[in-house]
Chains A and B, each alone.
Chain A
């Protein structure tokens, strides 16, 4: 079993839709949960960061962590064509090693 599972998509939605992206993981020692966004031919950049369980909101983006189910989600409200990118979940136990999911490719159609 992989440490982190993420559906690679692609996911195609119309502009204005609510997008739900998620990952499951197997290691209960993960404490730091992150979402990175990667545009084509660019490096990943941190989008959202959550420590332990709970929700975090930043503008149109909401990150949720459910440690009991080992499930993390990213919601994008009022999606825009500029949100078209690959979204990678990333997890860390508190050390130097961050494990990434496979990334979900998102296309938002105008």
Chain B
């Protein structure tokens, strides 16, 4: 039973299109994140939600809009896709109570913009 699951695993799309990635965690964690990993493997935080409330919003273009319908789900919608959006997007979750810094990651959603 997968702890953090993301769909879809692969997306190939044209510039200018809109796409969404969904994430679900069954760990009972309070906090969820979106990270972006570029071709050089650099992993950078984009957003974080704690109990459905946005708490981290890094300098990400407003074409990216996260949504957390409940604390087990965090989705990412991207409008007007650009070539530079090509990357692997990872969803992660963490437990806040007794914080240890451990993040649990999904397997990633590989986005290719043509």
Contact = CB atoms under 8 A, between A and B. Distances in A.
A53 to B, nearest CB: 15
B41 A97 contact: no
B53 to A, nearest CB: 11
Contacts of B103: 36, 44, 46, 90, 98
A32 interface: yes
Contact of B48 (A41, A43, A88, A97): A97
For the residues of B in contact with A, the DSSP-based class is: strand
Interface of A: 8, 32, 34, 36, 38, 41-46, 49, 86, 88, 90, 92, 94, 96-100, 102-103, 105
B43 interface: yes
B48 A42 contact: no
Interface of B: 4, 31, 35, 40-45, 48, 50, 55-56, 90, 92, 94, 96, 99-108
B42 A92 contact: no
Contact of A96 (B31, B44, B100): B31
A38, A45, A46, A96: residue with the most chain B Cβ atoms closer than 10 Å: A96
A31 B35 CA distance: 21
Contact of A43 (B50, B96, B106): B106
Given A96-B48, A96-B56, A103 B90 contact: no
Contacts of B4: 43
